[in-house]
Structure 1
Amino acid sequence: MAMRVDFHTHIIPENFTELTEQLTGERWPTLERTCACGANIMVAGKVFREVTDQVWSPEKRIYDMEREGVDIQVLSPIPVTFSYWAPAKEAELLARIQNDFIAETVKQHPTKFIGLGTVPMQDVNVAIREMDRCMHELGLKGIEIGTNVNGNNLDDPSFIEFFEMAEKWEVPLFIHPWETLGKERMPRHNLMYTVGMPSETALAGASLILGGVMDKFPNLKICFAHGGGALPYLLPRLDQGWRVWPHLRLLEQPPSHYAKKFYFDSLVNEPINLKYLLDNFGHERIIMGSDYPFLLREVPPGKVIDDTLGLTQEQTEAMLGMNALRFLNISSKVRT
């Protein structure tokens, strides 16, 4: 049976509020318990998200993993905790708290979990310092960042040094949408999650391509959440724009050429969408991810891969687990 590595899962310390009590101001997220197995993530005095003990309990996660056939979870912070809006010194403290917690969780359950860290992207020097600590002291295997930083797209010149060091240190980057564009137009129907996030991810990917980041750093490892959002389906339009507006070009090749450097998680909900990714990027670039433990997650993890007809055993095994380990620079022999 193929190893299943769930690349896209989120975690937060159970005592998050106590750990962050020195951070003052209502914009900081807090975790308020509602019962023995539930809590609310609060922002500015309002419920941002209802969560269960799945989001903080390693034991509950392991129980779910065994029940749903998952061998390893890759743990990453919840994007609302990025807090790029905050002073860098305070955001660094919050990042360190979460990174230490994730590293300790992996240490306690080394065969079940792999960890990704977070860094305060509002100050690139501080972000690089914490990335260095994550990778070279804590033993985390990558960094999760948001799709924009206070409204600045990821091709902003201020981020160049961060991507340069990520490439130099071979740090895999997991890019997750947050603070989505048009958020003020999406308060109803939870459109921020279903429309805003895929659109925001497309903007981040297009910015990295058209801004020349992927051209400048060809060995940079980037994986986008939610199958890349709308990006894969907009590439033909981006290519057309590249063709008809030559005066705007910064690239020698069309955008679709550089997009083939990206990785995508498999959270696309329908086999026909997965097939589109396969046809355009190859099975080597698709990594199984479920968005555990939130409501929009895939249950069981890897279902869309299981339900896609015509896959070879090699393709299936790669997407369900081997690609995640390869992306994270981990030998599969070490984990088996």
Structure 2
Amino acid sequence: MTQTPTGLIDVHHHAIPPAYAKALGDRVAIPGVDYPTWSAEASLDVMDRHSIAAAVLSITAPGVTFAEGDEARRLARQVNEFFAQTVAAHPDRFGAFAILPLPDVAAAKDELAYAVDELGLDGVGLLTSYGNRYLGDPEFEPLLAEIAERGLPVHVHPGTPPAKDLATFDLPPSLYEFTFETTRTVVSLLFNGVLGRLPHLKLIVSHAGGTLPFLAQRLTYGPTIGKYLTDRAPADVIGQLRGIYYDIAMSATSYALPALTELAAPDKILFGSDYPFMPASHTTENVEGFHRYPGWDDQQRTAIGRTNALALFPRLAGV
């Protein structure tokens, strides 16, 4: 199947640059997860076979958090320069989310400027937490404010929970904890007022928002449960949740999509594959689930599969 001008735009598509794989070495990236191999050519083959016109590349957990100080800054720079080279070689097929050396906010701001202003990358990729702090922590708000001011999309990918006492039942955290991590970081952004103060932040969350569609109404009950939350709870929890973008990686199913489409308008939903951490066979499953879901009309399906993403990524739209 060849790529066509009306192909999908995949906003949740990972890359593993050689320098990153070398730096990661024998470390366990995500406990219990089989670490895949990757190449641009393999991605392009999977994309062509599934009518995916373009993919926006990102680094999954643990990002560069396994490195510290100068090493983390160097590795982030190497990854971003690799992304820029890959995009330059295939400008109509790839975009890229810059990786930042967090939790060092000052270094992250420097790398953001370089990655966007010098390399021309398309947005920013963040994890749900750094150390023991989720994205709603006040430390991260200046960075998020700069991202919002620049009008950049920011893709948030879950990682292993920072709390060491969470029961995992000897199962990979990506099997179910990742969905809770997405929920935790968005709740921190909600109840710390960040989403209210940064209404123009183009936040993209993974995997249909984790458990957010299921919990959306429950999250409005904060002041009912505890009066101390009266001044912290957003006046319009549902409205702020509806302002977020949601990718449907691992989620184009008859279980997840009805809940998501009750919460998110069709102009806030984006296609994602999670390749190569989910194999090509899953890309087939997710593409088929996307096309088969009866809750969208043709215009909405085109928006979710393609035009919503092109509105977020003007460089890709231009090519």
Q: TM-score, normalised by structure 2?
A: 0.89
Other-structure match for 1:72: 54
Q: CA deviation at 1:254?
A: 3.5
Confirm whether residue 11 of structure 1 aligns to residue 15 of structure 2: yes
Q: CA deviation at 1:212?
A: 0.4
Greater relative contact order (CA < 8 Å, ≥ 6 in sequence): 2
Distance of 2:28 and 2:35 partners within structure 1: 17
Change (3 A) 1:228 1:179: same
Q: CA deviation at 1:239?
A: 0.5
Deviation string, structure 1 residues 244-272 (Cα, Å, up to 9, x no partner) = 43432324513222111110001214134
Distance of 2:31 and 2:162 partners within structure 1: 21
Change (3 A) 1:200 1:47: closer
CA contact (8 A) 2:57 2:94 kept: yes
The within-5 A match list for 1:1-336 is: 2-16=6-20, 20=23, 29-30=24-25, 42-43=26-27, 49-53=33-37, 55=38, 57-83=39-65, 86-181=67-162, 185-186=167-168, 188-190=170-172, 192-248=173-229, 249-267=231-249, 268-295=251-278, 298-300=282-284, 301-330=286-315, 332=317, 334-335=318-319
Change (3 A) 1:44 1:50: closer
Equivalent position SS for 1:185: coil
Distance of 1:216 and 1:310 partners within structure 2: 33
Change (3 A) 1:143 1:313: same
CA contact (8 A) 1:302 1:320 kept: no
Deviation string, structure 1 residues 164-194 (Cα, Å, up to 9, x no partner) = 111111121100001225565215232x112
CA contact (8 A) 2:29 2:61 kept: no
Deviation string, structure 1 residues 10-34 (Cα, Å, up to 9, x no partner) = 111235455x4xxxxxxxx22xxxx
Distance of 2:21 and 2:260 partners within structure 1: 40
Other-structure match for 1:37: none
Deviation string, structure 1 residues 60-111 (Cα, Å, up to 9, x no partner) = 211121112211111101222331x543322111111111111100101111
Q: Which 4+ stretches in 1 moved above 6 angstroms? A: 44-48
Change (3 A) 1:226 1:322: same
Change (3 A) 1:252 1:238: closer
| Residue identity matched to 1:77 | I
CA contact (8 A) 2:14 2:275 kept: yes
Q: CA deviation at 1:206?
A: 0.5
Q: How many residues align?
A: 310
Unaligned runs of 5+ in 2: none
Equivalent position SS for 1:116: strand
Change (3 A) 1:308 1:102: same
Distance of 1:304 and 1:130 partners within structure 2: 37
Change (3 A) 1:296 1:65: closer
Distance of 1:251 and 1:323 partners within structure 2: 29
Q: TM-score, normalised by structure 1?
A: 0.85
Distance of 1:97 and 1:238 partners within structure 2: 40
Change (3 A) 1:250 1:58: same
CA contact (8 A) 1:181 1:196 kept: no
Change (3 A) 1:14 1:264: same
Unaligned runs of 5+ in 1: 21-28, 31-41
CA contact (8 A) 2:53 2:93 kept: yes
Equivalent position SS for 1:43: coil
Distance of 2:29 and 2:256 partners within structure 1: 38
Distance of 1:46 and 1:5 partners within structure 2: 26
CA contact (8 A) 1:12 1:77 kept: yes
Change (3 A) 1:124 1:15: closer
| Residue identity matched to 2:11 | F
Equivalent position SS for 2:13: strand
